Structure 1
Amino acid sequence: MSGPERDPEQAILQAWQCNAAPWTRAVRGAAIASRRLVTDAAILAAVARRRPRTAIDLGCGEGWLAHALARDGIAVLGIDAVPALVAAAEAGGPGRFRVLDYDAIAAGMLDERADVAVCNFSLLGGASVDALLRAMPRLLEPGGALVVQTLHPAAACGEQPYRDGWREGSWAGCGEGFAEAAPWYFRTFAGWLASFRAAGLQLIDLVEPLHPETARPASVIFTLGLCDQVLGAAAES
């Protein structure tokens, strides 16, 4: 008799807890070429376009993005579910940091608002991500925006069917020392837009950063606002 099937949402957290140290080394050692060449700068530019005074970095990891935003004069709170990553973030640069998972945020345990909430390659789950997205009205200041950078669906699909569903993860291109990779929930463009719509979010902008060597999309960046705010702004313009 086979054992119980593992919960992929829990497997994500377990994998990141096991791989916090090699991930921190990879990011701080600039070992990931796509980040070094395009995606790090792309998310910074997307956030800068909003000209925020305050930001919440959801799934902040070892803290590089929160540190960069803080050095630009933005008051940043970094949130992550993995204590070792939060400890690395606190030791590595400016900003406030807190250990909290997405389910806790969805349950209302984060009493903070910001001009921008940013998720940089940190929306890996299925139901947990949908719950986090539904929490955005409590996290954003009036006129605020959610900025999401994630794998480009067309590039990340590979040879598998183009439909929403769980996929096996990989640390390919991240360097050495990693244990088992986290699973992740693949979403098509339609899947992302449906999740945003269900959470009361409306697309403001979409950017597809191109890899300078391949001229193919390295990621996709969605900028979203609350539907009532976006519609109100459109009516006034």
Structure 2
Amino acid sequence: MKDYEFSDNKILQSWNNNASEWIKVIDKAAIPSRELITNNAIIEAVLAHNPTNVLDVGCGEGWLARTLAAKGIEVYGIDGVTELIAEAQRRAGNHQQFQTLCYEDLCAETFSQRFDLVVCNFSLIGEAATEKLFREVSAILNPGGCLLIQTLHPLISCGDQDYEDGWRPGSWKGIDGDFQEAAPWYFRTLASWIKLFTQNELILDSLKEPLNPTTGKPASLLLSGRLNPSLDTGPD
């Protein structure tokens, strides 16, 4: 049996325990790389696709959803943490829709519509949950729709450990807050990320590495894959 300390369930447990503190950190803009690089990187990447509507997977307290909504995009947000969803809905009022939903329960029947773009901003850190999303996303996208992911850059986040897929312990190092135990995360190599797109019949059409201007090294990895038109099973 898989060690519970390194599991998708443990990730969800940790985020439930740390939701309030995370909201404070986001409100204080206490993560420099987000403010300097990665927030703008994901916003620009979404806008480059010119979507009419977006599904924000792992939306947290809703900062990205609110930003996109302010630019005229219809956004629906989901997250497995009830406290984060409640805060996202409170801040958005009746102008946006949010739903508590674990990735394992994600399927086309969950929604009354399909989406031009599904965005996952540093929200795919599990193993089975990530693979489940990739299996389901084609049925959630509109024809020609895209899956857009921003994640830790494998070469930077690997550290001194072997460059191979596997569970890693989490850490709040560098983030000022009164956090409880950090969630573990599932490390994937660049080849492993690309394989998730190709084996789920998504055409990988963009790979970008936003650079940290201070270090000159990648701050993140941005991957965009579009739905293969030959696989669309939606209505005419």
Partner SS for 2:99: strand
Cα distance, 1:111 vs structure 2:
4.1
* Equivalent position of 1:55 in the other structure: 54
The answer to whether residue 87 in structure 2 is matched with residue 88 in structure 1 is yes
Residue 91 of structure 1, CA deviation? 1.4
- 1:233 alignment counterpart: none
Name the counterpart of 2:199: 198
Is 1:23 paired with 2:22?
yes
2:130 equivalent to 1:129: yes
Tell me the distance in 1 between the aligned counterparts of 2:139 and 2:230: 14
Distance 1:107 1:46 in 2: 24
For 1:82-111, what per-residue CA distance to the aligned partner results, in whole angstroms no more than 9, with x for missing partners?
Answer: 100001111123521111111110484344
TM-score normalized by the length of structure 2? 0.92
Q: CA RMSD in A?
A: 1.7
Alpha-carbon distance in structure 2 between the residues aligned to 1:229 and 1:25: 45
Deviates more, 1:171-180 or 1:40-49: 171-180
Is contact 2:143–2:229 with CA below 8 Å preserved after alignment? no
SS in 2 for 1:46: helix
Q: Deviations over 1:143-184 (max 9, x none)?
A: 110110000000000000000010011112221111001111
Query: Greater CA deviation, 220-229 or 95-104?
Result: 220-229
Q: Which residue of 2 aligns with 1:154?
A: 155
Cα 1:228–1:158 change in 2 (3 A) is: same
Q: Do the aligned partners of residues 40 and 229 (structure 1) sit closer, same or farther apart at CA in structure 2, a change above 3 Å counting?
A: farther
Cα distance, 1:186–1:75 mapped onto 2, change above 3 Å: same
| Identical aligned residues as a percent | 45
List, as ranges, runs of 4+ consecutive aligned residues in structure 1 with deviation greater than 2 Å.
106-112, 227-230
Q: What SS class does the counterpart of residue 19 from structure 1 fall into?
A: helix
Give the 3-state SS of the residue equivalent to 2:159 in structure 1: coil
Unaligned ranges ≥5, structure 1: 231-237
SS in 1 for 2:29: coil
- Name the CA distance, whole Å, in 2 between partners of 1:112 and 1:9: 27
Partner of 2:115: 114
Partner SS for 1:87 = helix
Unaligned 5+ runs, structure 2: 232-236
User: d(CA) in 2 for partners of 1:4 and 1:133?
Assistant: 22
Number of residue pairs aligned between Structure 1 and Structure 2: 228
Q: Does 2:6 correspond to 1:5?
A: no
1:188-224 CA distance string (max 9 Å, x none): 0011111111221121111110112111100010011
Q: CA deviation digits over 1:50-103, x for unaligned, max 9?
A: 001100000001110001000110000000011000011111235211111111
Match of 1:234 in 2: none
Mapped partners of 2:83, 2:171: distance in 1: 21
Are the aligned partners of 2:108 and 2:139 in contact in 1 as well (CA < 8 Å)? no
